Amino acid sequence: MSSASPAAAPDVTNPDVVLVVDFGAQYAQLIARRVREARVYSEIVPSTMPVAEMLAKNPKAIILSGGPSSVYAEGAPRLDRALFEAGVPVFGMCYGFQLMATTLGGTVDNTGAREYGRTPLHVSKAGSTLFEGTPVEQSVWMSHGDACSAAPEGFTVTASTDVVPVAAFENDEKKLYGVQYHPEVLHSTHGQQILEHFLYRGAGIQPSWTTGNVIEEQVAAIRAQVGDKRAICGLSGGVDSAVAAALVQKAIGDQLTCVYVDHGLMRKGETQQVEKDFVAATGARLVVVDAEKRFLDALAGVSDPETKRKIIGREFIRVFEQAQLEILQEEGPEVAFLVQGTLYPDIVESGGGTGTANIKSHHNVGGLPEDIEFELVEPLRQLFKDEVRMVGQELGLPEEIVQRQPFPGPGLGIRIVGEVTKERLDLLREADAIAREELTAAGLDRDIWQCPVVLLADVRSVGVQGDGRTYGHPIVLRPVSSEDAMTADWSRLPYEVLARISTRITNEVADVNRVVLDVTSKPPGTIEWE
């Protein structure tokens, strides 16, 4: 997705839409993101949606995602053949490819010959709609157990692997295309090019969706939703809430009051930064609520991470409700809306994606109490983090806000493994500040997605400091690289930087005598420890 203005901006109330049919894997979210990177608007729909409803959206194209099922399994997702006979261009990926093949009379076999991970692909029709301009030998990302052995009638086989005779097929007459692999992942070396070939050449879509369109669309939607009522925004100091607040501010102006809750769980110096940078950038009204004691009292004696998240979410809402009463007493009009910076990955990990498991409760999703008295305004709900940064830049927010590394709404409360206390928070704040200072000094801020610093509060390790034996807490460094938080890998930081961080923390932070490095990818580990 580009921030440049298109030559002819589309009607944002009725954009050229590509539907991504979700067959129960997180891949659907990533496909939607890749489509948007191609400057084409996308929406995700569940595979259970009737075909008539899909077609009623007047899609310019439809993409069928991968999924965990076998096309032969009982209860596996199906699609009405009418979808492929409606004249709408369709692109099937992995499970979607196999479903297209079997629905239209091709053959998919459970041969037991599985392919997982990087796989060499042999392109047999180099000038085809999908593969034009790409190498005849390329690396793709496979994840399947079944294999297509015969394409449906009227389809041309365009690629194969050593295991799968039909790894891609095309029917230009009916504008139906499919690949056995996952072009949406970066490991498929020409995947984005293949996807764009489908969008531009196969479906004939003009790339014209931009961040400017997102802003126009959301401003109109926010005005329609809020009307003449008032809204408050929970400003956390992070990128998401700042961009959400700036969008709503652009839409309704002084009908918005931003509320920053100083819950005592922020990193060193961040409260002061929020008060200075955000207000200067937007001119929004900001109310700062000192609620540290309230949160620490509520968290006393609690170690379970899910319980901590829910307590923090509950207390946030209670503080907002109190802020609502104060704003009502001061200004009169009803405050009926709560603005949140909820993103797509938040929804997916909280079980909001079709067929996805609940990994953990996000403060923006599963962490809110059921008796919430506000209607939510979530202008970023369909966006990924990189898209949010682009929107923030388009809105004129400063780099210090837009490029800030992600920080969870529950703050340091979920970076302390164990009970949250004032003493432990102060200890973690100092360790975290040192890590951030050294990463910035080394020029690594843009090279990593984020670096959570975790305190293992309920663990003591033996150490030697000075001439004595110590029992201190371990600190964990969790530097990760990612594009959208859906997946992540640990960042290979220079040893000398890690050494400086470790030396400074153990020298300068009382009760810490050990620093360890988390080298787990996501999956299997999440980015945050709790």
Mind spelling out the 3-state secondary structure of 355-367? CCCECCCCCCCCC
Q: Which residue of the set 37, 94, 362, 451 is catalytic?
A: 94
pLDDT score for 369 = 52
Annotated catalytic residue: which of 184, 270, 430, 528?
Answer: 184
Q: Would you say 197 and 159 are in contact if contact means Cβ atoms under 8 Å apart? A: no
Give tens-digit pLDDT for 333-365. 677 888 888 886 676 555 444 433 333 344 444
Name residues whose C-beta falls within 8 Å of residue 525's C-beta, 6 or more positions apart in sequence: 518
Position 276 pLDDT exceeds 50: yes
Residue given tokens 């020298």 in the structure block: 507
Check pLDDT > 60 for residue 367.
no
Reduced to 3 states (helix: H, G, I; strand: E, B; else coil), residue 138 is strand
Instruction: Give me 493's structure tokens.
Output: 């930081």
| pLDDT recorded at residue 525 | 85
Q: What is the pLDDT of residue 251?
A: 95
| Nearest-angstrom CA–CA distance, 328 and 196 | 51
User: In the structure, what pLDDT confidence band is assigned to residue 6 with cuts at 50, 70 and 90?
Assistant: very low
DSSP summary character for residue 78 = -
Structure tokens at 284: 């929004």
Q: Which of 425, 220, 234 is nearest to 317 (CA)?
A: 234
Confidence of residue 264 (pLDDT cuts 50, 70, 90): very high
Say what angle helices 211-226 and 239-252 make with each other, to 10 degrees.
60
Q: Which residue has the higher pLDDT, 426 or 117?
A: 426
Least Cα distance to 94 among 204, 222, 191 occurs for: 191
Instruction: Take residue 280 and report the two structure tokens written for it.
Output: 């200067």
> What pLDDT score does 2 carry?
38
**Residue 399: C-alpha distances to residues 242, 259, 267 (Å):** 12, 22, 19
Q: What is the pLDDT of residues 47-68, one digit of tens each?
A: 999 999 999 999 999 999 988 8
> Backbone phi, then psi, for 54, in 5-degree steps?
-60, -50
| Whether the bond into 410 is cis, omega within 30 of 0 | no
In what helix (H) or strand (E) does residue 196 lie, and over which residues does it extend? Answer: helix 191-197
DSSP state of 254: G
Helices and strands: H and E segment counts in the chain: 14, 23
* 435 within 8 A of 453, measured Cβ to Cβ: yes
Confidence (pLDDT) at 210? 83
Rounded to a whole number of angstroms, the CA Rg of the chain reads 25
For residue 272, pLDDT beyond 90? no
Exactly one of 144, 170, 182, 394 is catalytic; name it.
182
Helix (H) or strand (E) holding 165: none
Contacts of 388 (CB under 8 A, 6+ apart): 239, 240, 243, 341, 343, 380
Residue 259 has pLDDT above 80, yes or no: yes
CB 366 within 8 A of CB 350: yes
Q: What is the mean pLDDT of residues 299-316?
A: 93
From 70-74, 77-81, 375-379, the region with the lowest mean pLDDT: 70-74
pLDDT, position 168: 94
Active site residue 184: yes
Pairing status of strand 90-93 against strand 137-144: unpaired
- 94 given a catalytic annotation: yes
pTM attached to this predicted model: 0.67
| Range from 9-23, 96-110, 168-182, 405-419 carrying the lowest mean pLDDT | 9-23
Tokens at 15, concatenated: 């954009």
pLDDT at residue 455 is higher than 90:
yes
Cis-peptide, bond into residue 523, ω within 30° of zero: yes
Count of residues making up the chain: 530
Distance CA(360)–CA(354), nearest Å, equals 16
**Can you read off the two tokens belonging to residue 234?**
């929970």
pLDDT at position 446 is 82
Mean pLDDT computed over 132-151: 85
Residue that wins the pLDDT comparison between 331 and 387: 387
Look at 75 and 348; give whichever has higher pLDDT.
75
Q: What is the pLDDT of residue 124?
A: 92
pLDDT tens-digit series, residues 478-498: 999 887 676 789 999 999 999
Question: Mean pLDDT over residues 168-194, rounded?
Answer: 92
With vertex at residue 427, the alpha carbon angle to CA 470 and CA 268, rounded to the nearest 5 degrees, is 155
Query: Could you give the percent of the chain with pLDDT greater than 70?
Result: 87
Are the C-beta atoms of 62 and 18 separated by less than 8 Å? yes
Structure confidence at residue 295 (pLDDT): 96
Burial of 412 (0-12, 13-18, 19+ CB in 10 A): buried
Question: CB within 8 A of 502, min separation 6: which ones?
Answer: 515
Dihedrals φ, ψ of 305, to 5°? -65, -40
Nearest to 122 by CA among 184, 152, 68, 164: 164
Cα 15 vs. chain centroid, distance in angstroms? 23
What is the predicted pLDDT for the residue at 11?
38
Task: Read off the pLDDT of each residue in 80-101 and give the average, rounded to a whole number.
Answer: 94
- Bigger pLDDT: 427 vs 483: 427
Task: Report the mean per-residue pLDDT for the chain.
Answer: 85
